[in-house]
A and B are shown apart, each in its own frame.
Chain A
Amino acid sequence: MLADGSQPLRGGAEPSPARPEAKIFHHSFAATPFAVRTALRTALARFLRQLSPDEAGTLELVLAEVLNNIVEHGYSETEHGTITLSLVRDHRGLSCSISDDGVELPPACLARSIDKTQRPEPQALPEGGFGWFLIHDLVEDLGYHRANGRNLLAFRMPVACPPVA
Chain B
Amino acid sequence: MNLYAEARAGALIVTVDEERLDAAIAIRFKDRMREVTMQPSQRVLLDLSRVGFLDSSGLGAVVAVMKSLSPERSLELVGLTPNVERVFRLTRMDSVFTLHPDVDAALRKGMRHAG
Residues of A participating in the B interface, judged by any CB pair closer than 8 Å: 33-34, 36-37, 53-54, 57-58, 60-61, 64-65, 68, 71-72, 120, 122-123, 125-128, 130-131, 133-134, 137-138
In the complex, are the beta carbons of B96 and A64 less than 8 A apart? no
Q: List residues of chain B with CB within 8 A of the CB of A72.
A: 23
Cα(A36)–Cα(B55), bound, Å: 12
In the complex, are the beta carbons of A128 and B83 less than 8 A apart? no
B57 on the interface (CB 8 Å rule)? yes
B67 on the interface (CB 8 Å rule)? yes
B59 on the interface (CB 8 Å rule)? yes
Interface members, chain B 28-70 (any A CB < 8 Å): 53, 55-57, 59-61, 63-64, 66-67
In the complex, are the beta carbons of B22 and A137 less than 8 A apart? no
Q: Which 3 A-B pairs have the closest CB atoms?
A: A33-B24, A130-B56, A127-B60
Tell which of B22, B60, B64, B91 touches A133, judged by Cβ atoms closer than 8 Å.
B91
For B25, give the chain A residue with the smallest CB separation: A33
B92 on the interface (CB 8 Å rule)? yes
Given A61-B86, A68-B22: A125 and B67 interface contact (C-beta under 8 Å): yes
Determine the main DSSP class of B at the interface with A: helix
In the complex, are the beta carbons of A60 and B56 less than 8 A apart? no
Cα(A37)–Cα(B95), bound, Å: 29
For A132, give the chain B residue with the smallest CB separation: B56
Cα(A22)–Cα(B47), bound, Å: 36
In the complex, are the beta carbons of A68 and B57 less than 8 A apart? yes
Q: List residues of chain B with CB within 8 A of the CB of A34.
A: 24
Chain B: how many interface residues by the 8 Å CB criterion?
Answer: 25
Residues of B participating in the A interface, judged by any CB pair closer than 8 Å: 20, 22-24, 53, 55-57, 59-61, 63-64, 66-67, 82-83, 86-87, 90-93, 95-96
Q: List residues of chain A with CB within 8 A of the CB of B82.
A: 53-54, 57
5 intermolecular pairs with C-beta atoms under 8 Å apart = A36-B24, A57-B83, A125-B63, A127-B63, A127-B64
Cα(A71)–Cα(B91), bound, Å: 22
In the complex, are the beta carbons of B67 and A60 less than 8 A apart? no
In the complex, are the beta carbons of B83 and A60 less than 8 A apart? yes
In the complex, are the beta carbons of B24 and A122 less than 8 A apart? no
Tell which of B55, B64, B96 touches A122, judged by Cβ atoms closer than 8 Å.
B96
Cα(A60)–Cα(B108), bound, Å: 35
In the complex, are the beta carbons of A37 and B91 less than 8 A apart? no
For B81, give the chain A residue with the smallest CB separation: A57
